[in-house]
Structure 1
Amino acid sequence: MDKGYPSTGNEVAYQRARVMRFKCSPFVSADGHAVVVVVVVVIIIIIIIVVVVVVVVIVVVVVVVVVVVVVVVVVVVVVVVVVVVVVVIVVVVVVVVVVIMIVIII
């Protein structure tokens, strides 16, 4: 409080008491400057870390899902190809046997 003239002893004591009260506040450092900036920076860093962790987890889940889908598709394709090959072999064998029997009978 600048009144334009030197402070009396009581006013100086009052100002010191105010500074001491501020020093006890969790958001004020020892020299009386606010530490709110540090708290905000720490909160922002925590938010960034949480966002990065969430993004990494989402990416890992998506990669796992894509790998599982690809494996399932490959397995299905292999099974279908094997079934088609077996059916074709069976049909060819049956046709050959029928033709041979017809030729033998004739």
Structure 2
Amino acid sequence: MGKQQAHPKQHGIVPNKEGTGAITMAHKVENTHFIIVLDDSAKSLIEEIQKHPDKVGDEQLGQVYSSLAIEEIYADKVGEKASEQQLNSAFNSVDTKAIVKDIVMNGKFH
């Protein structure tokens, strides 16, 4: 079974290219980098969340989730959608919101 392709360019989004308004954030679990694409306006909010993880509320996480430029979780590179098996193995979940939270709390900007 091949990997599903869902590249942000299909939606007019070019992550990490200046002026496109999108950034990527990745979190490595075992040998796989899990990547999300966010509107760059979320960067300061995420930096604040990472500085004070004990003070993170549902409202902040909701703002982060709503700032996803595309609601896909990628594996290893943008364009290769993570499979349910990969997500379950890494996060014990396929719930997008829970996985985005984990990536935001533990990931790094690319």
TM superposition score normalised by structure 1: 0.16
Pair member with larger Rg: 1
Q: Which has the higher helix share?
A: 1
TM superposition score normalised by structure 2: 0.15
